């Protein structure tokens, strides 16, 4: 249980920081800190200040600080964010990223997610011979894949995923894994079918809430660019049926989210074959 903290009127950040060491603690607890606000302060700067300047030990992950390593995702005031990208706010409750087991404090365990991603084989597979460097591709044909390749695998989208929030044990692989796979599916050089991986990732669990897209720190169109792309692949293969998919796919994401999630008017879908 944590106490709500007053905003410091001198421009400091009031932080309520999650602590939990499963090897010694009975339950998670929160501890309060006051951090002076500095110019351009990120959440990571706040965490660094607590660790270093306030000399308070706790576990958190970061490596690059510049949105490249993709390893500093946390939850701030209930929202999944990348600590190095997210601006500090005057009052912050900082917790670990949702939907992953906690190792300690803000550090979560990605190992099962990594194994799952590896099993999906997000790698280019060519059935034709490689023509030699430079191969005859254009940026236009690579655009869809290129836009997805900017994914740094930070898993903020997974933390934000409403489907996982409602059904944490559904077997859904989560959006990040599908972005990685979609960057291969969208690659014109890839000509090996990925339907099995897509179905084994339980793509049908995605209910188009679009929270993943809103959360992505790199501005990737997660729903339309990745989830819908792989969903269309398996629908076209006849493995999965979504009534009126052609119409649904053309709707603006906000409207789809309203219909499918907020109003609960999901159309019945049917899994034809998963393997």
Partner 1 sequence: MVCAREESIRSKARQSTPSPIPSRADILIIGGGLAGMYAALKAHEGGARVVIASKGPLGRSGGSIFAPSFHQALKPEWLGHLPRPWDASERFFVATYQGLMAEGPLRRADVWTTNEALPELERMGLYFHRASQGPFKGQLLHDPAMSAWAPKMDMSGRTTADLLRRKVLDAGIEVLDEVMATSLLVNDGQCVGGTFLNILNGDFFAVRSRATILATGHSNYLSKRSNGTRDVCGDGIALLYRAGAELFNVEMANWRYRFMAWPRSWMRLGVNGLPELARDETGRLVGPDRRLWFENSLVNVPPSDGLLCRKLPDLAHAAGNASRSSVDGGSYRDLSYHDQFFRHLGLDASKDLIELAHNYHHLHGGAWVDPLTFESRTLRCLFAAGGAIGHTGIGQCLYDGKCAAEIALGRIESTAMEELDAAAPDQETERVVGLLRTAGTKSGIRPQVIKTRIREIMWAKMNHEKDGATMESALEDVLAVRYTLAPNMALPSATRRFNSDWVDALDVYNMLDAVELEIRASLLRQESRGGFYRSDYPHQDDANWLKHIIVSQVGGELRMRTEGVPQDDLGEPTNA
Residues 110-169, interacting with partner 1 (CB under 8 A):
111-112, 114, 118, 121-124, 126, 130, 132-135, 137-140, 142, 145-146, 149-150, 152-153, 168
Q: Between 137 and 271, name the residue whose CB sits nearer to partner 1.
A: 137
Residues 185-224 that bind partner 1 (CB under 8 A): 187, 189-190, 218
Between 37 and 251, name the residue whose CB sits nearer to partner 1.
37
**From the CB of 165, what's the least distance to partner 1, in Å?**
8
Q: Checking DSSP bridges between strand 73-76 and strand 29-36, what pairing results, if any?
A: unpaired
Q: Which of residues 79-98 bind partner 1 (CB under 8 A)?
A: 84-85, 87, 96
Q: Is the dihedral of CA 195, 196, 197, 199 positive or negative?
A: positive
The least distance separating partner 1 from the CB of residue 47, rounded to whole angstroms, comes to 9
**For partner 1, which is the closer residue by CB, 188 or 254?**
188
Tokens 């030699």 belong to residue: 132
Contact 27, 18 (CB under 8 A): no
Site for partner 1 in 247-266 (CB under 8 A): none
Q: How far apart are CA 90 and CA 37, in angstroms?
A: 8
| Rounded Cα–Cα distance for residues 118 and 123 (Å) | 9
Kindly report the length of the chain.
275
CB closer to partner 1 out of 100 and 240 = 100
Q: Report the sign of the C-alpha dihedral through residues 73, 76, 81, 85, in that order.
A: negative
CB-nearer residue toward partner 1: 56 or 270: 56
Please report, as residue ranges, which positions from 20 to 59 form the binding site for partner 1 (by CB under 8 A).
20-24, 27-28, 38-42, 44-45, 48, 51-52, 55, 57, 59
DSSP H/E element including 82 = strand 79-82
13 binds partner 1 (CB under 8 A): no
Tell the smallest beta-carbon distance from residue 273 to partner 1 (Å).
25
Q: Pick the binder of partner 1 from 101, 171, 238, 254 (CB under 8 A).
A: 101
**Integer Cα distance of 35 and 46 in angstroms:** 7
234 binds partner 1 (CB under 8 A): no
Q: How far is the CB of 109 from partner 1 (least distance, A)?
A: 7
Q: What share of the chain is helix, strand, coil (3-state, %, to 5)?
A: 35, 15, 50
| 114 closest CA partner among 160, 71, 162 | 71
Q: DSSP string covering 30-61, please?
A: EEEEEEE--TT-BHHHHHHIIIIIT-------
What minimum distance in Å lies between the beta carbon of 266 and partner 1? 23
Number of chain residues interacting with partner 1 (CB under 8 A): 75
């Amino acid at each position: 249980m944590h106490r709500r903290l007053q905003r410091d009127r001198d421009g400091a950040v009031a932080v309520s920081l999650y602590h939990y060491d499963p090897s010694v603690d009975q339950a998670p607890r929160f501890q309060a800190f006051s951090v002076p606000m500095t110019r351009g302060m990120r959440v990571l700067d706040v965490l660094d200040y607590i660790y270093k300047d306030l000399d308070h030990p706790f576990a958190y992950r970061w490596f690059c600080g510049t949105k490249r390593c993709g390893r500093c995702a946390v939850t701030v005031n209930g929202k999944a964010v990348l600590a190095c990208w997210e601006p500090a706010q005057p009052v912050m409750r900082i917790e670990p990223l949702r939907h992953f087991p906690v190792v300690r404090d803000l550090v979560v365990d990605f190992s099962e997610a990594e194994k799952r991603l590896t099993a999906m084989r997000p790698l280019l597979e060519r059935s034709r011979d490689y023509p030699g460097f430079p191969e005859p591709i254009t940026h236009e044909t690579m655009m869809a894949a290129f836009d997805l390749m900017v994914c740094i695998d930070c898993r903020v989208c997974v933390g934000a995923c409403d489907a996982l929030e409602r059904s944490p044990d559904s077997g859904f692989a989560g959006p990040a894994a599908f972005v990685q796979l979609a960057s291969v599916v969208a690659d014109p050089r890839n000509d090996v079918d990925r339907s099995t991986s897509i179905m084994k990732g339980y793509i049908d669990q995605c209910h188009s809430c679009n929270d993943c897209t809103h959360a992505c720190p790199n501005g990737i169109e997660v729903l339309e660019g990745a989830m819908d792309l792989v969903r269309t692949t398996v629908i076209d293969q006849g493995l999965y049926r979504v009534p009126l998919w052609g119409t649904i796919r053309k709707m603006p994401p906000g409207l789809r989210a309203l219909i499918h999630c907020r109003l609960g008017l999901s159309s019945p879908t049917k899994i034809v074959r998963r393997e």
